Amino acid sequence: MMNDFLFADFLEDQAVYAAVEVYWQARLAFLDGLCAPYLRTAFANGQPFHDGNPIVNLADRNAGKAARIVQQCPCEFGHDYTSFEQAIELADDDGHRPAREKIIVLTLTQAAAQRAEAELRAWFMPDQAIT
């Protein structure tokens, strides 16, 4: 079953890490224009974290909703998918305001990606969710 993991060595290889970021951008392109990143993914010197936390981070500041996908190494975690919500504060022009954050922790397979995509579609676009 290990062979169904996508981009399995993303934590060891920066080119693979870049490829998985592009993969997620393409999968979640339906959120373009609605959402923007809200978390730093690089150190102050510009060096990317490359740790998979988050591999994706998106916020709809108008709706007060945010989401991030934490992608884990399959060799360490095997098949894994967890999702939960928490209260956070989103920075905006006026300081900070309360928001809800959905956190999805997964190891990447086709099935996990489809599940995450559906969950984010329902989270950010509840009026358009397909049941």
Number of domains in the chain: 1
Q: Which pLDDT value is given to residue 31?
A: 96
The mean pLDDT value for 23-51 works out to 95
- As a whole number of Å, the CA-based R_g of the chain is 15
| Per-residue pLDDT tens digits for 100-118 | 999 999 999 999 999 999 9
Nearest CA to 89 out of 69, 61, 68, 54 is that of 61
Q: Which pLDDT value is given to residue 94?
A: 80
| Per-residue pLDDT tens digits for 46-92 | 999 999 999 999 999 999 999 999 999 999 999 999 999 999 999 87
Confidence class for position 129, pLDDT limits 50, 70, 90 = low
Q: Please state, in angstroms and rounded to a whole number, the distance separating the CA atoms of residues 108 and 6.
A: 6
Q: Please state, in angstroms and rounded to a whole number, the distance separating the CA atoms of residues 53 and 33.
A: 23
Q: Which pLDDT value is given to residue 89?
A: 94
Q: Please state, in angstroms and rounded to a whole number, the distance separating the CA atoms of residues 96 and 99.
A: 9
Q: Identify each DSSP E strand in 62-119 by its residue range.
A: 65-71, 81-92, 95-106
Distances (CA, A) of 110 to 9, 23, 27: 16, 11, 11
Q: Which pLDDT value is given to residue 128?
A: 76
Q: What is the largest CA-CA distance in the chain?
A: 49
Domain that holds residue 15: 2-128
